[in-house]
Amino acid sequence: MYDTIIIGAGPADITATVYAARKKMKTLVITENIGGQAALSGDIENYTGYQFITGPELAKKFEEHLKKFDIDVKEGTEAVSVEKIDDYFTVKTGEGTYESEIVILATGRKPRMLNIPGERKFKNRGVTYCATCDGPLFAGRAVAVIGGGNSALDATIQLMAIATKVYLITRNKEMKGDTVMIEKVKRSNKVEILRDAVTKEISGDKFVKAIRVVVNKTEEKILDVKGVFIEIGSVPVAIPVKNSEEKLKVTKYNEIIVNEHCETNISGLFAAGDVTNIPENQIITAAGHGCIALLSAFKYISKRPS
């Protein structure tokens, strides 16, 4: 029986694990990989303590910090389900079942993909899902932003100050989002909006060189770009949670609802990071909420009868 099982190993999970180790809690970490979405980022210049670090480098730092402690880690393992039985939890994986007094879910999010030819091939080689993280890499280059809502508008506004040309490609006949943002984008002489447009293929050699787009269902265009920012949203990485007393509360987007202590509506189940309804999906906010989740979990355990 573990004190806590932490599912995931991104910024929220690593931070929670470090605090768990310092509290001398018997801890198990279950994760498919270490680093989470941070490992998929390019250059990172907004994580406190590092003026510049790449995503893979930061993920390596996370791993080094994690392995300084005597913590059980099941890496390369997928958590299949979480179930509360009486006053403890069981976590099932493909390898076995584990028990703990509490569980912290910090499984993060994954970008919603276009699922078109070239997307996977050029991921992190011109294809990216985060303008905040990777925008500066494309300074002085032509780029494309794919999406039709506020995420795409925000990415476009960021890239307007960096790129030489921004193609904003949307399936819609008109942009959907905040009016102020739409007008700001329309005023820029750097932005060309392609409406009723579907991206069909991303091509290149070692890196992205072009995309193929069909406009108005008939007109095909080949756009010479060095970067493709896919901004069609992201989805939480959900794990089924079973509880006989009450169902885990989530938003309409399947984000786990937590309070300021990172508590879910199920006693003993905590959640942190991008899988929750906490706003601003950034590395630093996920790390902070990983800390809150573990400290809240420690208080929860401390108050339980021995």
User: Are 185 and 195 in contact, with CB atoms under 8 Å apart?
Assistant: no
Residues in the chain: 306
Q: Annotated catalytic residue: which of 13, 133, 154, 274?
A: 133
Residue 41 pLDDT = 60
Residue 62 pLDDT = 83
Residue whose pair of structure tokens reads 């989002």 in the numeric block:
177
Residue whose pair of structure tokens reads 């060309």 in the numeric block:
192
Of the two residues 234 and 147, the one the predictor is more confident about is 147
Reported as a single tens digit per residue, the pLDDT across 183-194 is: 999 999 999 999
**What is the DSSP secondary-structure string of 82-142?**
EEEETTEEEEEESS-EEEEEEEEE---EEEPP---TTTTTTBTTTEES-HHHHGGGGTTSE
Of the two residues 57 and 302, the one the predictor is more confident about is 302
Q: Is the pLDDT of residue 293 over 90?
A: yes
Residue 160 pLDDT = 95
Q: Is the pLDDT of residue 42 over 60?
A: no
Q: In this structure, what token pair is assigned to residue 146?
A: 């794919």
Query: How much of the chain exceeds pLDDT 70, in percent?
Result: 98
Q: How far is CA 4 from the centre of its chain?
A: 23
Q: Is the pLDDT of residue 43 over 70?
A: no
Catalytic, 291? Answer no
User: Are 215 and 196 in contact, with CB atoms under 8 Å apart?
Assistant: yes
**What is the DSSP secondary-structure string of the chain?**
-EEEEEE--SHHHHHHHHHHHHTT--EEEEESSSSGGGGG-SEE--BTTBSSEEHHHHHHHHHHHHTTS--EEEET--EEEEEEETTEEEEEESS-EEEEEEEEE---EEEPP---TTTTTTBTTTEES-HHHHGGGGTTSEEEEE-SSHHHHHHHHHHHTT-SEEEEE-SSSS--S-HHHHHHHHH-TTEEEE-SEEEEEEEESSSEEEEEEEETTTEEEEEE-SEEEE-S-EEE----EEESS-PPPB-TT-PBP--TT-B-SSTTEEE-GGGBS-S---HHHHHHHHHHHHHHHHHHHHTS--
Q: Is the pLDDT of residue 38 over 80?
A: no
Q: Domains (ranges, CATH) in the chain?
A: 2-111+234-302 (3.50.50.60), 127-230 (3.50.50.60)
* Mean pLDDT, rounded, for 93-105: 95
Residue whose pair of structure tokens reads 């970490």 in the numeric block:
29
Q: Which residue, among 237, 288, 214, 193, has the nearest Cα to 8 in the 3D structure?
A: 237
Q: Annotated catalytic residue: which of 43, 86, 130, 291?
A: 130
Residue 166 pLDDT = 98
Catalytic, 262? Answer no
Q: How confident is the model at residue 40 (pLDDT cuts 50, 70, 90)?
A: low
Q: Annotated catalytic residue: which of 13, 87, 134, 274?
A: 134
